A and B are shown apart, each in its own frame.
Chain A
């Protein structure tokens, strides 16, 4: 008797559990709407914090926030330090591979494709970045991939960015898998890590515009729009993932490899947060 009741209860519980778990799976979740709400909150934070800064200007990083820094930067941009890299990137983009094809044969629109990346590839179930697409094109044509952080990868990326200036940031999150990648990136952005126990959001949201010693903290809004950058500190051009690694090292955290899933998801999240801004790379930075 007791056993029967137990079994009945068990079955009942199972049915209930199935019903409970099945419900959200059946109902279509509008992931884009969830993400759009996040974007609104995120951008609202910066608009409130810096009411005098135009949304579009956040793509200029710290130079959107501080006038003195902006003046110096504008002088630097009169003779852009990345100009030679853009030229070299153009040559590499059009240079024939051994099989006669070139990077140009992989990309539509004459290579003005910055606005298409990063995106979530629904078949591969992962985020594809521009740098990844560049190297995949090379490998597919029997060429060696470029090293990920600097040099030719950054030059080609800079050329593509330069002919794509003004394209709108409009990253879509349309499936559960895409949303999962987005959430991973979001977690990476907000979680404290490393010996100094700091998060991306700590400095680049809560303390954006404040001084860390003599440096001014850049706002996270617009972080990904202007890469690759020629950084004075590097004395050369480098990719976004190179910068991510440097930031992680600064806070005493072990960096992830460039183009790792972790950094691609972070790039995905950060770029979504800048939806509505325009691509304006390459750029020069201190």
Chain B
């Protein structure tokens, strides 16, 4: 019983390394989840204020979300900006998504994964 569980777990762990296609699939799902969160009016709703990929009717409160890797080479800096933009700029109108619990840590990670594709 116990050993079969271990074998199954090992098989799951091994799977990504077996086929090359499996690894990008895991990343993609995080990117896709991030995109869905970025569009969700009750979650990130990033598009309400930022032009973002192919999203329709974007707002223009903030700058377009493009070339994110070049603009935020340090992932931690981008994370802090999403968690509470008023730290960098006290007058920022951007909601403090982390500080006010609008997004969880893992949701912010998924959004960052998505933003880095833009």
Contacts and interface: CB of A to CB of B under 8 A. Distances in A.
Contact of B57 (A207, A210, A214): A214
What does DSSP make chain A's interface, helix, strand, loop or mixed? loop
A205 to B, nearest CB: 11
A104 interface: no
A72 interface: no
A228 B6 CA distance: 68
Interface in A246-284: 252
A206 B102 CA distance: 23
B93 A206 contact: yes
A196 B100 contact: yes
B95 A198 contact: yes
B93 A202 contact: yes
Of the four ranges (under 10, 10 to 19, 20 to 34, 35 or more), the interface on chain B belongs to 10 to 19
B36 interface: no
Interface of B: 47-49, 57-61, 86, 93, 95-96, 100-102
A154 B96 CA distance: 36
Interface residues of A, number: 14
Given A202-B93, A211-B57, A213-B57, 7 more contacts: A195-B100, A195-B101, A197-B86, A198-B93, A206-B93, A211-B58, A252-B100
Interface in A191-242: 195-198, 202-203, 206-207, 210-214
Contacts of B101: 195
Contacts of A195: 95, 100-102
Contacts of A203: 93
A197 B96 contact: yes
B46 to A, nearest CB: 11
Given A197-B100, A212-B49, A207 B95 contact: no
Given A195-B100, A197-B86, A212 B61 contact: yes
